[in-house]
Amino acid sequence: MALLGMAVYDTAENQRSKFTHETIHSLLKTVDFSKHTLIVVDNNSCKITKDFYSWLRQHVRDNGLSILVDDLNDNYGTAYAVNVAMTSRGKDEFFIKLDNDVVFHKNGWVDEMEQAMIRMPKIGVLGLKRKDVCESTYALNPDQRSRLLEVPHSVGERWYVVEQCKHVMGTCTMLSPALIKEVGFFYQMDGLYGFDDSLMCVRATKAGFINCFMHGIEIDHIDPGGTDYTKWKEEYARNMIGNYAECEREILQGTRSVYYNPFNKNIIP
């Protein structure tokens, strides 16, 4: 079983409500929510999104689905909201971090990701690959160069191929229970946005795991960009890159712990 966690921050200005609607509808079509659970943690979004949650809650009640919406009273940032969802994870559950601007097309994709990680336990972070990422087996930049691996296979089992790389873009990433035990929750630097996915990959590598994209499951990133909000995120990331580089250096050198738990110390990932 897997717990899916999605952080949402929709405002009248950023106009992301339509992306949240489309993402959740695609999840309803492709994920078995009698087996898996979705927790949406909302960073105080606008009325359009909150009205959608009213429909979603009724749909969940009518169909007996395991979907919860947790409303926060302010914008606490992406990693914080995802971590709130993560506190509800069972000890042996896989955890999937989802952005709210991605569409899924393949039924059972969560189960396929689980199977790949079960058969290849050294994978700590397994993502689904967007069409706009640069990682490839022929990339000239060594930070973007990857290699293809066949997941261990027994006769009668389905073949799976993963692509090992340095960083996995976090639009949709699954974390293994073994990794979570070693590293805890997503690390949020000072601020609201950015680099929690990259830092998770750095921490996974330091803890002895590998990071991979999974092939054979297509997704579409539906935010076309070019808005004031995406420009703000890009500028914010540029301003934070120095802090990220320092944090990465400390993790790799061992002066900063790979383990992070911003909540009650009694919570055991």
DSSP-derived letter for residue 233 is H
Token digits for 241? 């890159």
pTM of the model: 0.95
pLDDT at 234: 86
| Per-residue model confidence (pLDDT) at position 204 | 98
Asked whether the beta carbons of 37 and 66 are under 8 A apart, the reply is yes
In a domain, 266, yes or no: no
Q: What percent of the chain has pLDDT over 90?
A: 86
Token couple for 160: 């799976």
What does each C-alpha distance from 242 to 116, 188, 246, 247 come to in angstroms?
Answer: 35, 14, 6, 9
Domain membership of residue 78 (yes or no) is: yes
Show the CA angle centred on residue 238, arms to residues 237 and 240, nearest 5°.
65
What pLDDT, on a 0 to 100 scale, did the predictor assign at position 193?
76
Burial of 143 (0-12, 13-18, 19+ CB in 10 A): exposed
Residue 267 has what pLDDT? 59
What is residue 263's predicted lDDT score, i.e. its pLDDT?
A: 87
**Is there a domain that residue 258 lies in?**
no
* pLDDT lower than 70: segments of the chain: 265-269
Expressed as residue numbers, the domain containing 66 is: 2-253
Q: Does residue 130 fall inside a structural domain?
A: yes
| Span 129-168, pLDDT tens digits | 999 999 999 999 999 999 999 999 999 999 999 999 999 9
Contacts of 12 (CB under 8 A, 6+ apart): 46, 48
Q: Tell whether 263 is covered by a domain.
A: no
In a domain, 265, yes or no: no
Tell me whether residue 222 is in a domain: yes
The whole-number pLDDT of residue 42 equals: 97
The CATH number linked to 142 is: 3.90.550.10
Note the pLDDT of residue 131: 94
Q: Using CA atoms, how far apart are residues 240 and 229, in angstroms rounded to an integer?
A: 16
Number of domains present in the structure of the chain: 1
In a domain, 144, yes or no: yes
Give residue-wise pLDDT tens across range 98-112. 999 999 999 999 999
Burial class of 251 by CB neighbour count within 10 A (0 to 12, 13 to 18, 19+): buried
